[in-house]
A = this chain, B = another copy of it.
């Protein structure tokens, strides 16, 4: 933080799961200050005032109207993003909006357009493409020293489908399932590493549990304008845990129990109704009955999104939670990341560069709309049984 610059004053819309996952960042990073918030849950609003000393307001508009708010951090359900970005932009407020950016290209277009019209900035994140090892790999590739990127392989086996869910999270039409929620990460990472401009997508989907009737798994092939291709696979029904390939470090950058996926299923099995499941989810969120404040300490490892290998002409780069393993003819070299001082500090790094240093976002509206286009194309490809050509792609930032 430059000595003269003030912390960025955030207004928050939505104090649910996404906000809860950003808590360690907001609590620990002095570059942001949370000044106002709205959420329909009174418990969350009360907790916000207690925790941050900000003001909890009565609706979304009041947060966007609040004179102290510079940027709106938008963590409302996916389908509300477009409306809320518009609300903020029309009041001259910049927006940091959670992934997935939106559920339709029309909504993504609206978000880009209202911000352009208002002259406000839009950053989409957190997503795992902000993770320090991904940024380091991107930097190593951009250095040119390993030649062209040829092939990317990404894999993730999680307990995603058995975490407590609201009904809409199990309904693809309302933004549920692993494509909107998880491919949004994996595609963003792979696009960043493979140049960004996806040309075609072919995807297959798994919907294997009739009681949770949305996509829980996929495998897909992506072709890029530069000739590279990627294979991405995700299994959210995972008994197997691909974090075992990531030094036993979980998605959130902390050590993970070997039986974490089994424990997730056991907890869910104890919730005997849809309402009980919704309560289970709400309880763990900020201000909920089972919520515990995160301990504030620097992370031991970066957050990550499973095994990723990038093959270049002169080296294979394997992402780990603490750096990038570069395997070349010279042997194996480990390039460590600088550990972020708080989890997801990388998001605030980008926010700061944009808000205080006048930089353009790396994870801006056009970039993120292109990731959404790929995700939507995955669903279309599965339905049509064909490759889907892409038309709204943009190159990775350099």
Contact = CB atoms under 8 A, between A and B. Distances in A.
B239 A316 contact: yes
B259 A206 contact: no
A331 B262 contact: yes
A315 B239 CA distance: 6
Interface residues of A, number: 49
Nearest to A232: B231
Given A219-B151, A327-B239, A387-B386, A309 B231 contact: no
- Copies of this chain in the oligomer: 2
A385 interface: yes
Interface string A230-241: 110101011111
A256 interface: no
B229 A311 contact: no
A265 B155 CA distance: 28
Interface string A310-333: 010111101000000101111110
Nearest to A146: B239
Contacts of A200: 385
Question: Interface centre among A217, A239, A327, by most B CB within 10 Å?
Answer: A239
A291 interface: no
A160 to B, nearest CB: 13
Given A204-B223, A206-B229, A233-B153, A239 B387 contact: no
A197 B157 CA distance: 25
A208 interface: yes
B329 A265 contact: yes
Question: Interface centre among A155, A221, A315, by most B CB within 10 Å?
Answer: A221
Contacts of A330: 262
A316 B208 CA distance: 14
Nearest to A266: B329
Contacts of A316: 157, 235, 238-240
A41 interface: no
B328 A239 contact: yes
A153 B306 CA distance: 14
A17 to B, nearest CB: 24
Interface in A212-248: 217, 219-221, 223, 229-231, 233, 235, 237-241, 245
Given A153-B235, A157-B316, 12 more contacts: A150-B208, A151-B206, A157-B309, A202-B202, A203-B221, A204-B229, A238-B316, A240-B311, A262-B329, A262-B330, A265-B329, A266-B329
19 contacts: A150-B217, A151-B217, A151-B233, A157-B309, A204-B229, A206-B229, A219-B221, A220-B221, A221-B221, A231-B231, A238-B316, A239-B311, A239-B314, A239-B328, A240-B325, A240-B327, A245-B245, A262-B331, A265-B329
